Amino acid sequence: MKTKFAFLYITVCFISFLTPSCVDEQFTTDPSAVLSFSCDTLSFDTVFTNVPSRTVSFFIYNKNDKALKITSARLAKGSESYFRFNLDGRIPPSTNFLQNIEIKAKDSLFVFVELTVDPNDSDFPVFYKDSMVFVTNGQTQDVKLITYGQDAIVFNGKSLTENTTLTAVRPYLIFNYLHIVEGKTLTLEPGARLFFHDKANLIIDGNLISDGTLEKPVVMRTDRFDRLPDVDKTPYDYMPGQWGGVYLQNSKGSHLLNHTFIRGCNLGVVIVGTHAEKPTLTVKNSVLHSMTQYGLYAQNAKVIVENTEISNCGTSCLYLLGGESYVVHSTLANYYMWGQRKSETLVISNYILDGNLLYLYPVTSSVIENSIVFGNQSKEILLHKDTFTNAMYNVLISNTLIKSKRLDDAEFHNITWARSQNTTAQGVADTVFVNTSIDKIAETGYYNFQLDAKSIARSKANTAVAGRYPIDLLGKSRLRDGAPDLGAYEK
């Protein structure tokens, strides 16, 4: 017996006080008078087994001059179907069969369809199909229904109390949270895929080792596979706020993100230590993209970011509050479009002012080099240093492209400042990336923060530093032409 889930009741009501009763409606029985549909195939994105799908709809049209009576509407597989439907507010019994549906001349009806797929005991997606069959005036018509069902390992509010390894064999579907206790390590093998439901979080009170490869990255993303109903058909996968985030909250923790893609959440990665104990995090060859707030927020931590893109965040891509940090050959690019952005792309701070209370977070060392700090605001960097005390603020930024008017702070050395911010010439623009928009996604592709052929970031890197990082985020050599580029990507 297949498990049935509560169906989303969507009722379309047509109420009119000005038209005659349907008793006066004239129906045609002409076999040539049939239905029309808004599509011939209704395609669902991949769905996880045992999890109800999103609701998809299509229209039935009567383009004839007289009313039609649909003799029957049914699912071809009847009670054995994984699909469910609601036709103009009418929900069929378990047989998935309705009779005698009226549709007025030049009118239309909604059909809403959902499905829930049973587990298939397969490591790979399995193809499923059915059809909605309509009989009108003796003529049979259908709309095909297709989807792929994927078995997943489900964690729902799960706390792991032993060292645990997640593999690439099957995806992991996470509701509420997945947690690892203090003293234990969660290891994500190359190709591991973690799909998070709305507001779900990865909470690390122990250690996190996410160690992907170029060919098999670790992916953390939403469990939604569908797209926005906008003109660009934007994937929900790339929208911010689709799930919670990754919280590294053990002040003694040691963490690695290598070839790891994290996208579409509220807070990307948050790591918090104390003045006495600083957790460590190395992020390399990774992409943190599309967050409602921060891409990476580090407070009193030791952070290394190399060969990494952090992009499109509603607050800052990288916020460093106290601690130690080293950022090299990384691209911080912020063209966030889902609301008004609250801060600069990169912030390095040694204090927080809360009302009249000043809290100090000494920056013992923060080095940024051979990187890019850019976006769609006029100023994309903030050195937030306390001027009333002698709190440590040991910062060096060199050989980096920065979107800002020229700043004379002692922390800056050999900076490429945005030309458009430092000239009075008309028509001066900064060409940096391949694509900084989601408009016309079918024609131009999604955001692409690789370097444009005419990018002002080309050939500006410190060669000695680049020699320590000879391969870029995509596996390309930085040293082949003797003039390495800034940022995570070599042109």
User: Residue 300 and residue 34: Cα distance in Å, rounded?
Assistant: 70
What confidence tens digit (pLDDT) does each residue in 365-389 have? 999 999 999 999 999 999 999 978 8
User: In this structure, are residues 310 and 293 in contact, taking their beta carbons and an 8 Å threshold?
Assistant: no
Question: What pLDDT shows up at residue 6?
Answer: 42
Asked if residue 393 has pLDDT above 50, the reply is yes
Residue ranges making up the domain that contains 258: 154-421
pLDDT in the model for residue 4: 38
Domain assignment present for 453: no
Are 261 and 314 within one domain?
A: yes
Provide the pLDDT for residue 425: 87
Residue 228 pLDDT: 80
For residues 133 and 40, state if they share a domain: yes
Name 168's Cβ contacts closer than 8 Å, sequence gap at least 6. 189, 190, 191, 192, 193, 216
Task: Break the chain down into helix, strand, coil percent, rounded to 5.
Answer: 5, 45, 50
Q: What is the mean pLDDT of the chain?
A: 92
C-alpha span between 27 and 31 (Å, rounded): 12
pLDDT of residue 14: 38
Condensed to tens digits (0 to 9), the pLDDT of residues 414-469 reads 999 999 999 988 888 999 999 998 876 777 678 999 999 999 999 999 999 999 99
In this predicted structure, what is the pLDDT of residue 400?
98
- Quick check: is 122 in a domain? yes
Residue 9 clears pLDDT 50, i.e. is over it? no
Q: Is residue 445 part of a domain?
A: no
Of 381, 396, 421, at which residue does a domain stop? 421
Which range (6-15, 137-146, 384-393, 478-487) has the least confidence? 6-15
Report how far apart, in Å, the C-alpha atoms of 421 and of each of 164, 380, 428, 429 are.
50, 11, 9, 9
> Torsions phi, psi of 390, nearest 5?
-100, 30
Residues 224 and 186 in one domain: yes
Residue 229 burial by Cβ neighbours in a 10 Å radius (0-12, 13-18, 19+): exposed
- Is the same domain home to 137 and 176? no
> What is the model's pLDDT at position 389?
85
Q: What token pair was written down for 183?
A: 């003293």
CB atoms within 10 A of CB 344: 25
Closest CA to 305 of 370, 246, 401, 247: 370
pLDDT greater than 80 at residue 130 = yes
Domain presence at residue 478: no
Say if residue 2's pLDDT is above 60: no
Same domain assignment for residues 261 and 284 = yes
Residue 8 is predicted with a pLDDT of 40
Give a yes or no: residue 484 inside a domain.
Answer: no
Of 290, 307, 271, the closest CA to residue 485 belongs to 307
> What is the residue whose two structure tokens read 């002040």?
251
Number of domains in the chain: 2
Percent of the chain beyond pLDDT 70?
A: 94
Asked if residue 8 belongs to a domain, the reply is no
Domain boundary among 149, 184, 215: 149
| Alpha-carbon gap, residue 281 to 318, rounded angstroms | 13
**Per residue in 287-304, is it b (16+ CB within 10 Å) or e — as a string?**
bbbbbbbbbbbbbbbbbb
pLDDT of residue 439: 75
326 pLDDT more than 90: yes
Where does the pLDDT of residue 22 fall: very low under 50, low under 70, confident under 90, or very high at 90 and above? very low
Are both 90 and 181 inside the same structural domain?
Answer: no
The lowest-confidence range among 10-19, 177-186, 388-397 is: 10-19
DSSP-assigned letter for residue 165: E
With a cut of 50, say whether residue 16 has pLDDT above it. Answer: no
Choose one of 127, 149, 171: the last residue of a domain: 149
Contacts of residue 410, defined as CB under 8 A and 6 or more positions apart, other chains included, come to: none
Which of the residue ranges 229-243, 331-345, 416-430 would you say has the lowest mean pLDDT? Answer: 229-243
Q: Tens digit of pLDDT for each residue in 79-103?
A: 999 999 999 999 999 999 999 999 9
Question: 124 vs 294, which has greater pLDDT?
Answer: 294
pLDDT band at 401, cuts 50/70/90?
A: very high
* DSSP category for residue 490: -
Tell me, yes or no, whether 201 and 317 share the same domain: yes
Tens digits of residue pLDDT in 193-221: 999 999 999 999 999 999 999 999 999 99
pLDDT of residue 231: 65
Q: Once rounded to an integer, what is the mean pLDDT over residues 252-275?
A: 97
81 and 125 both lie in a single domain: yes
Q: Which amino acid is at 341?
A: R
In this prediction, residue 237 carries a pLDDT of 87
Residue showing tokens 């808004």 = 38
Give pLDDT, residue 233: 76
What whole-number percentage of the chain has pLDDT above 90? Answer: 83
User: Domain check: are 79 and 214 in the same one?
Assistant: no
Do 54 and 105 belong together in one domain? yes
139-150 and 41-43 beta bridge pairing: parallel
Of the listed ranges 111-125, 277-291, 321-335, the least confidently predicted one is 111-125
Band of the pLDDT at 226, cuts 50, 70, 90?
Answer: confident
- Is beta strand 97-103 parallel, antiparallel or unpaired with respect to 83-87? unpaired
Structural domain contains residue 207: yes
| Residue 426 within any structural domain of the chain | no
pLDDT at res. 437 = 86
CATH of the domain at 50: 2.60.40.10
Q: Which pLDDT tens digit goes with each residue over 241-251?
A: 999 999 999 99
Mean pLDDT confidence for 391-408: 96
Same domain, 398 and 288: yes
What ranges make up the beta strands (E) of 330-462? 331-334, 346-349, 351-354, 357-360, 363-369, 372-375, 381-384, 393-398, 401-402, 412-413, 416-417, 433-435, 448-451
Tell whether the model's pLDDT for residue 185 goes beyond 70: yes
Average pLDDT over residues 168-173: 97
Verify that 125 and 168 share a domain, yes or no: no
AA letter at 98? L
In this prediction, residue 111 carries a pLDDT of 97
Q: Is the pLDDT of residue 24 over 60?
A: no
Confidence tier at 294 by pLDDT (50, 70, 90) = very high
